[in-house]
Amino acid sequence: MSDMTTVPVGQEYDVLVGPGVSSGVARVLPVGVGRVLVVHGEPLGHLAEPVATSLRAAGLDVHLAAVPDAEAAKTVTVAADLWARMGQAGFTRGDAVVAVGGGSVTDLGGWVAAAWLRGVTVVHVPTTVLGMVDAAVGGKTGINTAEGKNLVGAFHPPAAVLCDLDHVSSLPPADLAAGLAEAVKCGFIADPRILEIVESDAAGVQEPGSPALREVIERTIAVKAEVVAADLRESNLREILNYGHTLGHAVEHHERYRMRHGEAVAVGMVFAAELAHRTGHIDKALLQRHRYVLGLLGLPTTYARADFDDLLAALRRDKKTRGDTLRFVVLDGLTRPTRLEGPDEVLLREAYAALA
């Protein structure tokens, strides 16, 4: 494919970006794969079927499995149903899973592959901007429990990630914009050119097929790939990718996952910026730039729908907490992320009041 960009994730695997790349899924599977479980979100049969057709054309035994949309996919019940299908079809350690869908489906598909026979090949075909720039890159897999998001999972890098830009054209505008929250995050923590593109062409960035959107997607993937390659198991450096996510996950939990992930992360980034400003890490201009850039994409920059004590309880359960110490990723200036450990609760409350 001539119009394809390859972003390597260290020596582990490649992310392929371009129109039509999902038709090449058979080419990225290891030699010897015989059976493939194609997991897809229920509304995405029209995107999964061409992937299945290309696999069948390569002589593979394909099993299509539809799962619920969005976070409803990420349950132990759904995972168990998929394992049952794999068992009944005789899947061996040499077979594979292909996950076609948004971040929830790639999280689920990755976890199903990671746990089946202690790990089989998985290839991700993310169909949303969020899936392309965030969930499908990095090898983190997981499902949710009643107690919180992504509490059960494993590190299981894919064989490849195929980001087919043709899939973006079917995204609702609000979903596209929400996915761009992760791009804005990468702009603040590592690549300010992303912020400049949004500031100069916010409409273009939200237009499927535009050069501006493609550049933002590719730059965001490159940021994540570089961080992930340097820290495959989330020991330290990779923590910077959690910018905006600490409060964001608490907000998602409070909203019972009815709020888009990117919208919650946008709120979380503004909170982190307010906290950083109050602790002397960033100036007023950088704080205001958070609201400005996110606002250009129509993403929320205020939030007042939860009592802070409820959010605090969720924060203390978050997997980024160590012991009883709350930890936040904040900026020490543009592209200078740092860790803020155990901030004064008074400052947390002030930052949340400013967010409201």
> Which amino acids are annotated as binding site for Zn(2+), given as ranges?
182, 245, 261
Question: How many Cβ atoms sit within 10 Å of the Cβ of residue 272?
Answer: 31
- Which of helix, strand or coil describes residue 242? helix
Numbers of helices and strands, H then E, in the chain: 13, 11
Catalytic position from the list 253, 261, 281, 290: 261
- Contact (Cβ atoms closer than 8 angstroms) between residue 265 and residue 255: no
Residue 207: active-site member: no
Catalytic position from the list 242, 253, 281, 327: 242
Residue 40: active-site member: no
Catalytic position from the list 245, 254, 281, 327: 245
- Contact (Cβ atoms closer than 8 angstroms) between residue 142 and residue 150: yes
Catalytic position from the list 185, 219, 238, 260: 238
Give the annotated binding-site residues. 69-74, 127-128, 140, 149, 182, 245, 261
Catalytic position from the list 118, 256, 258, 284: 118
- Contact (Cβ atoms closer than 8 angstroms) between residue 103 and residue 73: no
- Contact (Cβ atoms closer than 8 angstroms) between residue 293 and residue 269: no
Residue 140: active-site member: yes
Catalytic position from the list 214, 219, 249, 281: 249
Residue 252: active-site member: no
Residue 224: active-site member: yes
Terminal CA-CA length for the chain: 48
- Contact (Cβ atoms closer than 8 angstroms) between residue 252 and residue 338: no
The rounded distance, in Å, linking the Cα atoms of 283 and 273 is 9
- Contact (Cβ atoms closer than 8 angstroms) between residue 272 and residue 244: yes
Give the annotated binding-site residues for NAD(+). 69-74, 127-128, 140, 149
Catalytic position from the list 63, 156, 167, 182: 182
Catalytic position from the list 124, 167, 224, 290: 224
Residue 182: active-site member: yes
Residue 234: active-site member: yes
Catalytic position from the list 218, 234, 252, 274: 234
Residue 193: active-site member: no
Instruction: Give the active site residues.
Output: 118, 140, 182, 224, 234, 238, 242, 245, 249, 261
